[in-house]
Amino acid sequence: MTIHKEGRTLLLVLAALLTVLNIVAFQYLSAPWTWIVLAVSVVFFLLILQFFRSPYRTLTQNTKQVVAPADGKVVVIEEVVETEYFNAPRRQVSIFMSPVNVHINRTPIEGMVKYFKYHAGKYLVAWHPKSSTENERTTLVIRTESGAEILLRQIAGALAKRIRWYVSEGQLVSQGQEFGFIKFGSRVDVFLPLDAKVLVNIGDKTKGGVTVLAELKS
């Protein structure tokens, strides 16, 4: 396991600040307050550290399968009308990322990026019904070699106020490739063709790049 690039600078700055804080505490405070400050500092640093972990994984590779773009829990499986790109019914599968999940986002299928757009917005809690249309978010559409199109939406939440992305329109992406990062968790929506066979259920835990969400007909 390594530390993701999105967290390296933050962790270095945080370590420096906490070190200074503890030096001051040991100079001006007496026990047990010095040890309390030290313990809180260590726990806080470890909590932030785990947000940015990047574990090694054997990724799923199958052109007919759609893999999970994020670690988390499946919270939505339903047919909806997607209005930004398709303007047509699609099967939506949503994954909620808690603060303890790995925060890397991965491409669920191999193909070409046909559409990408960033939307500034609010920071409603990720499970709010309007979060997918009103929160800060990105929309990414990947077209496979067979012509199937999969839409992904990174959605910021009440705590996650920094979305990163590493793709652009026209770019070829491989299955399981990192396409973005949501700092401190939130939600990723996947919009599938209606004839795709969904293989997960509400409440299932997912691993980004590993868990198979669905199988495509074409």
Catalytic residue set: 186
What does the alpha-carbon distance between residue 114 and residue 81 come to, in Å, rounded to a whole number? 19
**Separation of alpha carbons 181 and 201, rounded Å:** 24
Structure tokens at 43: 């726990």
Contact 161, 136 (CB under 8 A): yes
List, in sequence order, every residue forming a beta bridge with 191; answer none if it has no partner. 92, 151
Instruction: Let me know how long the chain is.
Output: 218
- One-letter amino acid at 135 equals N
Q: Are strands 172-173 and 163-165 parallel, antiparallel or unpaired?
A: unpaired
CA nearest to 153, candidates 169, 131, 175, 168: 131
Three-state DSSP class for 49? helix
Structure tokens at 36: 């309390």
Q: Where are the alpha helices (DSSP H) in the chain?
A: 5-28, 33-51, 131-134
Which amino acid, residue 197? K
Q: How far apart are CA 215 and CA 137, in angstroms?
A: 26
